[in-house]
Amino acid sequence: MVLDKIKALELHRRTKGKFDIYPTININNEEDLSLAYIPGSVPAALAIKDDIGKSYEYTGRGNRIAVITDGSAVLGLGRVGPYAAMPVIEGKCLIFKLFGDVNAIPICLDCHDVEEIVHIAATLSPSFGGINIEDISSPRTFMIVRELQNKVDIPVLCDDQHGTAVVVLAALWNALEVQGRKIEDLKIVVCGAGAAGISVTELLLAAGAKNIIVLNSSGILSESNPHMNNIQQELALKTNPEGIKGGLSEAIEGAHLFIGLSKGNILKPQHIRKMGKDPIIFAMALPEPEIHPEEAYAAGASIVGTGLPEYPNAMPNLHTSPGIMRGLLDVRATCLSTTMLLEAARALANVVDRRRLSPQKITPDVFCDEVSPCVAEAVGQAAIREGFASLTLPEGQIYHNLWESLYGNKLSRH
């Protein structure tokens, strides 16, 4: 699909933002005003003063998140700054609402210091039930997520990290089911060692992968690579068990799976021809994939997925982050764990009808109405089992509530 830039600009000019704020109640007379504002707000304020947990009952906090960026790594654009990041972050907020019924507020910060961003986000946390860190350059994004989760008692999601990792693992599990393979038997190449590449690798390791080679712009992550940040150095100790040196050509020899999270058109047909039998290609760079599906299949790929909705096996983050956050909010989770991400991936994989599972069908349709409810249910129940939930909900309730609010012609939560 070729983007019509004039049409896109006109949409942004006409709408002046991708969402609006509407009241949940009407004020028609003095009594309405006194109940909704002063003095009606006083009993609620005093109840929250005595029990902070009541803020979830008497305010909109429980269904409100902050989407925070500094504009340093905006998808497909790079370091464009906080003002230029706003259209993208507003779009992310729209996705949270439309696919998860989550009220998301864009917050674009004119600062890049890790400690300052953590401080600002933590200071804002009483207003929100969750935080999504978005489009901040690596390794700072990892540092921010780690430090922030230690400072606040609400979940911190990073769509670039967690959302991407879940959608990749879900697609891989289905691809392996099609091929009759196991993840522990694969040689995997991850091209790109930014936020997405590192998080995908960590989740694949948690899922049982044994042999992963990760590359940054200077080559394979290993002790021989002089250009690694501290997060990449940590990952180098857990990957490349065969001690391979060099770049993509050396790494991809005999590999079964290529995961591209770098830049467009860097994977060549000759690379695929060097891979093992029936190779799987996940070319997820945007707006241009590492290789286009037609070219990958012509070179011998067995299964190809991309981040582009116009191709089969699309792997968009809208399949993951809205549902993950919905599940976290519904049980008032205090954090986001690896187990929750694994359960989200399994739920997403299982959305695909087993009767339709094939090399051309390893992911759900982009607008499948089962995706977010199933992911939310899996995450919420995992949080309950792990003891990270403040509310215990019966199985199926999270799924039912979200499906009804999104597709059942019922009023949304707020």
What confidence score (pLDDT) does residue 414 get? 47
Report the distance separating Cα 385 and Cα 236, nearest Å. 32
Residue type, 146: R
Q: Is the model's pLDDT at 126 over the cut of 50?
A: yes
Contact 414, 63 (CB under 8 A): yes
Q: Is 37 a catalytic residue?
A: yes
What confidence score (pLDDT) does residue 75 get? 79
DSSP E strands in 12-121: the ranges are 64-69, 103-108
Report the distance separating Cα 274 and Cα 197, nearest Å. 22
For the structural domain made of 5-158, what CATH number should be given? 3.40.50.10380
Q: pLDDT per residue over 131-152, tens digit each?
A: 999 999 989 999 999 999 999 9
Buried b (16+ CB within 10 A) or exposed e, 282-306: bbbbeeebbbbbebbbebebbbbbb
Q: What DSSP designation does 333 have?
A: B
Q: How confident is the model at residue 58 (pLDDT cuts 50, 70, 90)?
A: very high
Q: Any known ligand binding at 135?
A: yes
> Once rounded to an integer, what is the mean pLDDT over residues 185-208?
97
Contact 277, 306 (CB under 8 A): no
Q: Is the model's pLDDT at 289 over the cut of 80?
A: yes
Q: Is the model's pLDDT at 299 over the cut of 60?
A: yes
Q: Is the model's pLDDT at 287 over the cut of 90?
A: no
> Once rounded to an integer, what is the mean pLDDT over residues 203-208?
98
Average model confidence (pLDDT) for the chain?
94
Backbone CA torsion sign across 264, 265, 267, 273: positive
Query: How far, CA to CA in Å, does 189 sit from each of 40, 43, 181, 204, 246?
Result: 59, 58, 16, 11, 13
> Once rounded to an integer, what is the mean pLDDT over residues 40-63?
95
Q: Is the model's pLDDT at 249 over the cut of 50?
A: yes
Q: Where are the alpha helices (DSSP H) in 222-304?
A: 230-236, 248-251, 269-273, 293-298
Buried b (16+ CB within 10 A) or exposed e, 111-145: ebebeebbebbbeebeebbbbbbbbbbbbbbbbbb
Q: Any known ligand binding at 160?
A: yes
Q: How confident is the model at residue 155 (pLDDT cuts 50, 70, 90)?
A: very high
Q: Is the model's pLDDT at 296 over the cut of 50?
A: yes
Supply φ then ψ for residue 131, to 5 degrees. Answer: -130, 135
Q: pLDDT per residue over 62-104, tens digit each?
A: 999 999 999 999 977 889 999 999 999 999 999 999 999 999 9
What confidence score (pLDDT) does residue 37 get? 92
Selecting among 92, 187, 311, 399, the annotated active-site residue is 92
Q: Where are the domains of the chain?
A: 5-158
The tokens for 224 are 């021989």
What confidence score (pLDDT) does residue 35 get? 92
For the entire predicted model, the pTM comes to 0.93
What confidence score (pLDDT) does residue 104 get? 97
By the 10 Å C-beta count (0-12 exposed, 13-18 middle, 19+ buried), 64 is classed as: middle
Q: How confident is the model at residue 413 (pLDDT cuts 50, 70, 90)?
A: low
Q: Is the model's pLDDT at 286 over the cut of 90?
A: no
> Once rounded to an integer, what is the mean pLDDT over residues 326-330?
98
Q: Is 83 a catalytic residue?
A: no
What confidence score (pLDDT) does residue 333 get? 97
Backbone CA torsion sign across 335, 169, 375, 192: positive
Q: pLDDT per residue over 342-390, tens digit each?
A: 999 999 999 999 999 999 999 999 999 999 999 999 999 999 999 999 9
First-to-last C-alpha distance (Å) of the chain: 35
> Once rounded to an integer, what is the mean pLDDT over residues 295-321?
95
Count of CB atoms situated within 10 Å of the CB of 95: 20
